[in-house]
């Protein structure tokens, strides 16, 4: 279930239900130990976290939500079981900065051997449109500049609309690594060619 229109959560659609049904991907054993695996009963926990986030946190001002994310990230550095608390920020918030930072925190929160799985999580958030702000998740993934991740993002470019593409370009600006800059340049050229043909 996701808020539509305003940020009060008054009108909801189906993100939490989608998570129960769709987000049960295979995760390594190390991820199960950190409490981030959302298979079986834990998908309900993610849905409950999202609902709680939309009811309690989302109505707060953006600055308060950003401070709350900072607190969760700090706690996750001390205790890996807190990492799952980042998911509502990444999936259930609309604010570009919050979603971008929460996605990067989720990806970077795991030991090196689990990193690819956490990156795969975020790619699935875009592919299945599970995040309210898929553009911010996409931008966070692009900012890694990882060739394997960029290859996985190639087919997902067509799922984003013009506003989302503009948000990604704005978000990354000049600070993105060279592989991501090349990816973006090729993507923009492709969009320009597509528009010219119409």
Q: pTM value? A: 0.75
Strand, coil or helix: 79: coil
pLDDT digits 0-9 by tens, 136-153 = 999 999 999 999 999 999
The three-state (H, E, C) secondary structure of 104-167, written as one string: HHHHHCCCHHHHHHHHHHHHHHHHCCCCCCHHHHHHHHHHCCCHHHHHHHHHHHHHCCHHHHHH
pLDDT digits 0-9 by tens, 164-175 = 988 998 998 767
Strand, coil or helix: 179: helix
* Residue 99, CB-side half-sphere exposure with 13 Å CA sphere: 24
Copy the structure tokens of residue 158.
């067509």
pLDDT band for position 196 (cuts 50, 70, 90): low
Describe the crossing of helices 96-108 and 134-143 by its angle, rounded to 10 degrees.
50
pLDDT band for position 36 (cuts 50, 70, 90): very low
pLDDT digits 0-9 by tens, 104-138 = 999 886 544 445 678 998 999 999 999 999 999 99
């Amino acid at each position: 279930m996701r808020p539509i229109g305003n940020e009060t959560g008054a009108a909801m659609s189906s993100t939490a239900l989608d998570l129960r049904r769709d987000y049960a991907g295979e995760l390594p054993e190390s991820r199960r130990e950190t409490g981030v695996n959302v298979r079986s009963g834990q998908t309900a926990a993610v849905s409950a976290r999202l609902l709680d986030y939309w009811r309690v946190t989302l109505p707060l001002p953006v600055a308060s939500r950003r401070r709350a994310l900072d607190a969760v990230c700090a706690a996750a550095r001390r205790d890996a079981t807190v990492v799952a608390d980042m998911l509502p920020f990444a999936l259930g918030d609309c604010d570009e900065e919050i979603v971008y930072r929460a996605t990067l925190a989720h990806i970077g929160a795991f030991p090196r051997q689990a990193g690819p799985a956490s990156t795969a999580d975020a790619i699935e958030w875009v592919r299945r449109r599970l995040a309210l702000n898929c553009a911010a998740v996409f931008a966070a993934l692009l900012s890694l500049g990882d060739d394997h991740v960029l290859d996985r993002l190639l087919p997902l470019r067509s799922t984003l609309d013009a506003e989302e593409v503009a948000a990604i370009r704005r978000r990354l600006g000049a600070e993105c690594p060279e592989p991501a800059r090349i990816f973006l340049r090729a993507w923009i050229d492709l969009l320009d060619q597509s528009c010219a043909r119409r």
